A and B are shown apart, each in its own frame.
Chain A
C-alpha cells in the first residue's frame, strides 16, 4: 500500500494538425494504461470536463484540437513516470516512434 501516493500534473498543448482523433487517442490510452496510477485529463481550452485518461471513449469526447491545452493529472505510486511518459507523447505529436510526422495531409 502506498501512503506516499503522489499526485503529479502538467499542462501541455496538442501540437499535431488533426488534434485528438482515433490514433492519438489510442496512443494516449495505451500509454496511460501501462501505469497503475489513475490518469485524468482536462481540456482547458474546451468544456473543462475532467475525463479518465485510460478511457478511449472519454478521451475522444475531450474535443481536443490543435493548440488545445490539456491538463494531465496522475495519482498513485508511478504518477511521476506516468506524467513524464504522457507529456512527452503529447509533445511528440503522438508519435509511435516509427514515423516522426504523423500529421494527415
Chain B
C-alpha cells in the first residue's frame, strides 16, 4: 500500500483498476505476419506515409502564415523525415526480414532513433527525440487507423493514470468509462484541471511520478477530497474507501435534486449562476445542472485539434449549438484566448521568453485580424439564434477595447450588406483580468457593455505568481488581501456605474468564496457546470446582510492565511457535511 499526495481537481472518491495511458495508448504488440501478408503491410506503410505527409502539409500551411518561422522549420523537418527514403527502406526491410507488422516495424525503428537522440550532448538535439516520438505517433495513427486501442474501447470502469493529458484528450473522457484520474503533471488551474473539474469525476494531479510507480491492472483509490491517491490498498483501507465512494455517489445525487430550485438567498436576493464551458455540448450539461446559461464560452478550444484553425462555418455551427443548447438563456462568448498556456497543436514549438506577458489573448487576435474577423462573423451570425453576448479577453487598455469593438462593427456592416441575420444590439463586453484594467475600471465602465472578472489571470498578475508553475503555485491564492481589495473596488465601481458585472474565475465555483463575493455585491457567478449545485445550495442558506458581515470581516485581515481560515470556518458552518 502506498499513499501519494497531490493537488485535487475535483472532490470525491473513486476506486478502480488502473489503465495507464502513455503506455497503453500506443502499445504495439509484436505480430508475426505470413509471407503473403507482407505485401499488404508494405502497402499499409506506404499509405500511412502519404496520409501523414498530407496531414502535416495542411497543418504547416496554416502554421507558416500565423506562426513563427522556427515552428514551421521544425515541421518541415518532420515532413523530411516522413519522406526520408533511407528511413522508409529500413522500415520496409524490418517488415520483410522481421516478418512483422508495419506498426511494429515503424515503432521499432523510430524508437531506435529516439534512443540515439537521447544520448546526444546538445540539449537541442536531445529535444529532437520528442519530434521523432511525434512522428512515430503520427505514422502509427495512420497505420492503425480505426484499430487503435484507446480509452474509448474500455469495457469496464477504470481509473486513468497518465503523465499528463492534453485538453483534447481530457475533453473526450466524458465519453469513456473512466471514473477518476491521477496525473503526474499539473497545477490546480491548468486547463486540463479546469476541464477535469467540469467533467466532475474525482481527480488528483501533480503526483510527480505516479505513472511510473503503478501499472495497468493495479487497484488505485483516488481521494480527491483529501488530495491523495492510494496504490494497492490493503483490505481494510479498500473496504473503508468503498463505503466512502458509495457515500460520494449518494451526495452528488442529493445535490442534483437542487436542479429545479432557483439560486436565491434566504432574503430573496436572486443570484445568477452560469456555466463556464469549453465545448458547445456543455451548454446542455449546464442546463441539466440547473445553470442560468453560459457566462463564459472558451472558444479557443475549437483550435485544440489537429486540423488547425476552424472555418467560419465550423465556428458558427459550434456557437449556434451552444446558444440553442442554452434553451433561451444567455450565452456569453469570449473571443479566442490563444497563447500563454493554451497552445494550439501547432504552436508547441514556438517559445516566447515570457508567454504569460507575451502575445496572447486579445493581443494575438488584434495582430491576426483576418482570423479575428472570421470569428466575429461567426459569433454575429450565431447571435440570431438566441440571446448572445460577446467579450474580449485580457483587455488592458481602452485602445484595445475600441479597436476590437471597431472590428466587430466592420463585421456587422459586412454581414448586413450580405443580408445575413444578426443581433445588431449584441452586448459587447470585456474580461477584466489585469491589474491595469482593475485600477482603470471606472474609465472602462463608460465604454463597455458589461464586465466579467477573470480571477485566474487577475490573481496571477496581481500576485506575480505563475499558476502553472508547480514550484510556486502554492503562493497563488485568491485569499490574498490585495485580491480581495481589488475585487471590492471593481464590483463597487461597476455597481455604481450600473455596468453588469460577473465573475468567471475558479473562485466563482469555490464554496469558500461564495459568501464573501455575495457580500461584496456580486450577483452573477460563472463556473464549471459541476460546481453549480453546491454553490446554489450554499446561496440558498445565507442572507445578504450575513454575507456582508463575512465580507467585511474577511477584508479586515492582513494575510491570506487568516482570510482562508476565517472563510473556511464560516463556510463549514453553512455546509457541515460538504468537503470544503
Contact = CB atoms under 8 A, between A and B. Distances in A.
A65 B122 CA distance: 9
B86 A58 contact: yes
A61 interface: yes
A44 to B, nearest CB: 17
A56 B77 contact: yes
Interface string B85-128: 11100000000000000000000000001001100111011001
B125 A22 contact: no
Interface in A13-68: 18-19, 21-23, 25-26, 29, 52, 54-58, 60-61, 63, 65
Contacts of B122: 19, 63, 65
B85 A55 contact: yes
B84 A56 contact: yes
A57 B121 contact: no
B541 interface: no
B80 A25 contact: yes
Contacts of A19: 122
A74 B47 CA distance: 31
Q: Which 7 A-B residue pairings sit nearest by Cβ, starting from the closest? A: A56-B80, A22-B77, A55-B86, A23-B73, A22-B73, A52-B86, A56-B81
Contacts of A54: 85-86
B76 A57 contact: no
Contact of A22 (B76, B84, B85, B113): B76
B271 interface: no
A56 B128 contact: no
Contacts of A22: 70, 73-74, 76-77
Given A61-B117, A63-B121, A63-B125, A29 B80 contact: yes
B83 interface: yes
Given A23-B73, A23-B76, A60 B128 contact: yes
30 contacts: A18-B124, A19-B122, A21-B124, A22-B70, A22-B73, A22-B74, A23-B73, A23-B76, A23-B77, A25-B77, A25-B80, A26-B73, A26-B77, A52-B86, A54-B85, A55-B84, A56-B77, A56-B83, A56-B84, A57-B81, A57-B86, A57-B113, A57-B132, A58-B84, A58-B86, A60-B125, A60-B128, A61-B116, A61-B117, A63-B120
B87 A57 contact: yes
A32 B348 CA distance: 30
A26 B80 contact: yes
Among B74, B80, B117, B124: residue with most chain A CB under 10 A: B80
A55 B87 contact: yes
A90 to B, nearest CB: 17
Contacts of A21: 73, 124
Contacts of A65: 122
A19 B80 CA distance: 18
Interface residues of B, number: 22
B16 to A, nearest CB: 41
Nearest to A25: B77
A39 B132 CA distance: 23
Given A18-B124, A25-B77, 12 more contacts: A21-B124, A25-B80, A26-B76, A56-B77, A56-B84, A57-B84, A60-B125, A61-B113, A61-B117, A63-B122, A63-B125, A104-B70
Interface of B: 70, 73-74, 76-77, 80-81, 83-87, 113, 116-117, 120-122, 124-125, 128, 132
Nearest to B69: A23
Contacts of B76: 22-23, 26
Nearest to A58: B86
Interface string A1-21: 000000000000000001101
A98 to B, nearest CB: 11
Nearest to A104: B70
Contacts of B81: 56-57
B162 to A, nearest CB: 28
Contacts of A18: 124
Contacts of B87: 55-57
A34 B113 CA distance: 26
B477 to A, nearest CB: 37
Contacts of A55: 84-87
Nearest to B82: A56
Nearest to A19: B122
Nearest to A23: B73
A25 B124 CA distance: 14
Nearest to B135: A57
Contacts of B124: 18, 21
Contacts of B113: 57, 61
Nearest to B113: A57
A29 B124 CA distance: 20
Interface in A46-104: 52, 54-58, 60-61, 63, 65, 104
A92 B77 CA distance: 20
Contacts of A25: 77, 80
A26 B76 CA distance: 7
A63 B123 CA distance: 11
B345 to A, nearest CB: 18
Contacts of A57: 81, 84, 86-87, 113, 132
A25 to B, nearest CB: 6
A60 B128 CA distance: 9
A105 to B, nearest CB: 11
Contacts of A58: 84, 86
Nearest to A21: B124
Contacts of A56: 77, 80-81, 83-84, 87
A46 to B, nearest CB: 10
Contacts of A104: 70
